Amino acid sequence: MCKDMPPLELAIQFHGHICPGLLMGVRVAEFAQEYLGVGRDYDEELVAIVETDSCAVDAIQAILGCTFGKGNLIFKDYGKSVFTIGSREKSKAVRFSQNIDALAKPQFKRFRELNQKTSLSSDEVAEKENLVGELFEKIMTASFEELFKWREVPYEIPAKARIHKTIPCALCGEGVMETRVIISERGKLCPSCQAEFGGELNV
Ligand SMILES: [Zn+2]
Ligand SMILES: [Zn+2]
């Protein structure tokens, strides 16, 4: 991905479509960059802790460079639109909590309805396109406080992702991270073999 691409473009290209959730993530990522005085992450200078796996998280990955693969995107499955972004260099972190009614406007509800349909009539396609325009305007021009509550929080960001040794599973022979093996009577098993054959171990 081109680093000179505008943040919004980065997010849309990465996510594949434009939707209210993605735009909320764009607002968070841009606010965090400005507040923390940081650019896009190269080598885990930034860390994002996300408490949802919604569309917004893709904007955070694309714009901030906090990604699942790099290990500086930490997912807590709490079902909350809460995002904490921290900078190791600045020892600073900021927490964002989406206002419960931020996406409650009728246009958002209608957009979600259309989004969930498997096929759209040509009228609905046109309606959806218009809604995207309206939603874009609403989210991108809203004051930040209309969308999120935010505050600086104590910097308690985990250490950089560690690289662990890979060993072969005693059953399937596939490589598995040493910290994830389960020691059994059949030897050191990967989690999938343990899940599949674990029950037979005492037979
Ligand atoms: Zn989306
Ligand atoms: Zn295995």
- Does 115 share its domain with 189? no
- For residue 21, the CA-to-ligand 1 centroid distance in Å is 6
Among all ligands shown, which has an atom nearest to the Cα of 16?
1
pLDDT of 160-171, one tens digit each?
A: 667 789 999 999
What number of H helices and E strands is found in the chain?
Answer: 7, 9
- Does 68 share its domain with 127? yes
- Is residue 13 over pLDDT 90? yes
**Taking the alpha carbons of 185, 190, 191, 195 in that order, is the dihedral positive or negative?**
negative
Residue 2 within any structural domain of the chain? no
Residue 149 within any structural domain of the chain? yes
Among all ligands shown, which has an atom nearest to the Cα of 182?
2
Residue 119 within any structural domain of the chain? yes
Residue 93 within any structural domain of the chain? yes
- For residue 184, the CA-to-ligand 2 centroid distance in Å is 12
Q: Residue 43 has what pLDDT?
A: 78
User: What is the average per-residue pLDDT within 128-144?
Assistant: 93
> Residue 77, SS3?
coil
Question: Using 50, 70 and 90 to split pLDDT, how confident is the model at 3?
Answer: low
- For residue 92, the CA-to-ligand 2 centroid distance in Å is 41
- Does 177 share its domain with 140? no
Among all ligands shown, which has an atom nearest to the Cα of 170?
2
- Does 61 share its domain with 146? yes
Residue 68 within any structural domain of the chain? yes
- For residue 55, the CA-to-ligand 1 centroid distance in Å is 4
Q: Residue 4 has what pLDDT?
A: 74
- For residue 179, the CA-to-ligand 2 centroid distance in Å is 14
Among all ligands shown, which has an atom nearest to the Cα of 14?
1
d(CA 77, CA 68): 14
Question: Using 50, 70 and 90 to split pLDDT, how confident is the model at 34?
Answer: very high
Q: Which two tokens stand for residue 139?
A: 């989210």
- CA R_g for the chain: 21
Strand intervals (E) in the chain: 46-50, 73-75, 82-87, 92-98, 148-153, 166-168, 175-177, 182-184, 187-189
- Does 14 share its domain with 70? yes
pLDDT of 108-126, one tens digit each?
A: 889 989 988 989 999 999 9
- Does 174 share its domain with 89? no
- For residue 58, the CA-to-ligand 1 centroid distance in Å is 8
- For residue 181, the CA-to-ligand 2 centroid distance in Å is 9
d(CA 90, CA 7): 22
Q: Residue 202 has what pLDDT?
A: 47
Residue 202 within any structural domain of the chain? no
- Does 52 share its domain with 131? yes
- Does 85 share its domain with 133? yes
- For residue 161, the CA-to-ligand 2 centroid distance in Å is 24
- Does 144 share its domain with 45? yes
Q: Torsions phi, psi of 97, nearest 5?
A: -125, 120
Single-letter amino acid, residue 78: Y
- Is residue 32 over pLDDT 70? yes
pTM (predicted TM-score): 0.82
Question: Using 50, 70 and 90 to split pLDDT, how confident is the model at 155?
Answer: confident
Q: Which two tokens stand for residue 134?
A: 């309206």
Residue 103 within any structural domain of the chain? yes
Residue 160 within any structural domain of the chain? no
User: What is the average per-residue pLDDT within 32-54?
Assistant: 91
User: What is the average per-residue pLDDT within 44-56?
Assistant: 93
- For residue 24, the CA-to-ligand 1 centroid distance in Å is 10
**Domain hosting residue 188, numbered range:** 166-197
- Does 71 share its domain with 116? yes
Q: How many domains does the chain have?
A: 2
Among all ligands shown, which has an atom nearest to the Cα of 175?
2
- For residue 139, the CA-to-ligand 1 centroid distance in Å is 14
- Does 140 share its domain with 193? no
- Does 12 share its domain with 105? yes
Q: Residue 203 has what pLDDT?
A: 38
Task: Find the CATH number of the domain harbouring 68.
Answer: 3.30.1330.130
